[in-house]
């Protein structure tokens, strides 16, 4: 069975799921989800933790600060794209399911490239909002 490098949500003793509203579930697949903030006015969005540094869990639609590179099956990867496509339509980020699948595939491909690291590598996001949109930087953190 084909395996794909992707991100899974992790929590540490200092980083409990209760900190995020709604929280992601440990070990679920996650994407950066920066599309969530692309339509926000930087002056209105402010400097919240969710905008700055949280990943989107694709099962729970919750949030987490830390992810790690893990191997996932091709079937799990395809199910994640399907869930994400429906999420994009349900939350008005895509006008129809066809567009939702295209956008979900783009997000999945972008995330796969980011996950092309050693298994177990822990990553965080640092987003900044400005008048031109959202910029993001991805950083590894020591275990």
| Percent of the chain surpassing pLDDT 70 | 86
Asked whether residue 49 carries a pLDDT value surpassing 80, the answer given is no
Asked whether residue 1 carries a pLDDT value surpassing 90, the answer given is no
**Own/partner long-range contacts of 16-22 (Cβ < 8 Å, ≥24 apart):** 17/62, 17/64, 19/65, 20/49, 20/50, 20/54, 20/62, 20/63, 20/64, 20/65, 21/63, 22/60, 22/61, 22/62, 22/63
Q: What local confidence, expressed as pLDDT, does residue 36 receive?
A: 86
- The DSSP H or E segment spanning 3 is strand 3-10
Distance (Å, whole) CA 136 – CA 53? 9
The predicted-structure confidence for 86-143, as pLDDT tens digits, reads as follows: 999 999 999 999 999 999 999 999 999 999 999 999 999 998 887 777 889 999 998 7
In this prediction, residue 84 has a pLDDT band, given cuts at 50, 70 and 90, of very high
Q: How does the average pLDDT of the chain come out, rounded?
A: 89
Distance (Å, whole) CA 28 – CA 83? 12
Mean pLDDT check: name the lowest of 42-46, 78-82, 94-98. Answer: 42-46
Q: What local confidence, expressed as pLDDT, does residue 37 receive?
A: 80
What DSSP string describes 104-143? HHHHHHHHHHHT-S-TT-EEEEEEEEETTEEEEEEEEE--
Asked whether residue 17 carries a pLDDT value surpassing 80, the answer given is no
Please give the torsion angle defined by the CA atoms of residues 30, 92, 35 and 41, in that order, rounded to the nearest 10 degrees.
-140
- pTM comes to 0.89
Q: What local confidence, expressed as pLDDT, does residue 46 receive?
A: 55
């Amino acid at each position: 069975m084909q395996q794909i490098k992707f991100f899974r949500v992790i929590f540490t003793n200092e980083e409990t799921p209760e900190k995020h509203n709604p929280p992601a579930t440990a070990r679920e697949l996650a994407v950066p989800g920066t599309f969530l903030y692309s339509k926000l006015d930087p002056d209105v969005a402010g400097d919240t933790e969710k905008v700055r540094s949280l990943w989107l869990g694709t099962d729970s639609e919750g949030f987490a600060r830390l992810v790690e590179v893990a191997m996932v099956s091709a079937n799990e990867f395809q199910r994640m794209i399907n869930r994400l496509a429906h999420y994009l339509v349900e939350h008005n980020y895509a006008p129809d399911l066809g567009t939702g699948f295209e956008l979900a595939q783009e997000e999945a491909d972008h995330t796969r490239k980011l996950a092309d690291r050693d298994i177990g590598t822990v990553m965080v996001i640092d987003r900044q909002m400005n008048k031109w949109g959202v910029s993001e930087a991805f950083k590894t953190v020591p275990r």
